[in-house]
Amino acid sequence: MSNENLNKKNLENLQTRIDEVVDRTIAEKRLVGAVVQVALNGTLCYSRAAGYADREQIRFMQNDTLFRLASVSKPIVSAAALVLVSQGRLQLDDRVDKWLPEFCPRLPNGDRAAMTVRHLLTHTAGLTYRFFQMEHDSYEHAGVSDGMDQPGITLEENLRRIASVPLLYTPGTQWKYSIATDVLGAVIAKVADTPLDEAVRSLVTEPLGMKDTAFFAVDPLRLSAAYANDRPEPRRLLDSDYIPFVEGTSGFRLAPGRALDRTAYPSGGAGMVGSAGDFMRLLETLRKGGAPLLPESLVQEMTSNQIGDLPMAYWPGRGFGLGFTVLKDPEAAQTAESPGTWRLGGTYGHSWFVDPVKQISVVAFTNTALEGMSGQFTTDLCETVYAGLSNRTL
């Protein structure tokens, strides 16, 4: 790997700018700690651990600190499904009930829905998340878990509860971010004929050497504490906690202790634990074409908009690929990212993006929920990366 297109002055400028953003955000007590990595042209040119992994125990953040990944789990589990597709064991247009005959959610009129694996990967399956719904809405009445609380049930039981609720719309006709990746996880487990955690390990994390990534903390001593953005400073999350989301919705129900419980059901959409370096390895593998994980043709499909012009709430200017958002219109999204950039985040405080045009990969894992996912830090970091590279010659 070479970094010859980035001169020393530009590199120092980039590093200084990112340091300023990280330091300011921590000083303003909007984040407790973070690990930020930036790769350019395949070379890791910025890697920093800042702040506290555990403020109360005065444990400093390290580059190999482990984090509760929340929705950062989705690209990993989606990649596992695509490995099965590449092996000919699964098809994108397979009906879900081919693999999960007991999973038969109905449309609002009572008709049986034709839901496919592609619908699950693109979040066009007719499902939602409990945290998007109003209090006492259908998912709450059914006892559906979003995969971040600790309900003491199995994956199969959660799927039964999901299927007991009518779909919001006919699959393929709308886009709604949802618990679809949890259903996808059950499909993966069935196709692989092994529990989901073992399937993801054999299909993705082991081939890529992602030794820090699993459905539990592989080393509890390296696991960061979890915080919620608050004033005058972030508060430590309790083991059964609540964070408001958009006004009028039921919000996030979180159980940070879930990361230490190997008996918790594996939530494909929100249940994994890992490190920034591990996740960067996956992103760079995909950006470079997918080997040894996936053929380039399947990576191109994964990273291309698959939902046409279906509107996406909360993410204007973006479409959706097979597991994460894909930028369509930088002006509408108010971003400096190139068209075709992939991006997603995670409730516990993470953001990441890959700009394949400019060959930029950025991973920002924090331990402060919401601020690190969609707060000002996420915007500042993105703008700073592009400003720091404004004189770079590609």
* Residues that are catalytic: 71
Among 120, 112, 128, 139, residue whose Cα is nearest residue 168: 128
Residue 3, pLDDT score: 46
Both tokens of 71, joined, read 């929705």
Q: Please, are residues 250 and 140 in contact by the beta-carbon 8 Å criterion?
A: yes
Residue 78: helix, strand or coil by DSSP? helix
Alpha-carbon gap, residue 213 to 205, rounded angstroms? 7
Residue 393, pLDDT score: 39
Residue 279, pLDDT score: 98
Residue numbers in the chain where pLDDT is lower than 50 = 1-4, 392-394
Query: Residue 24: which residues within 8 A CB-CB, separation 6 or more?
Result: none
Residue 108, pLDDT score: 93
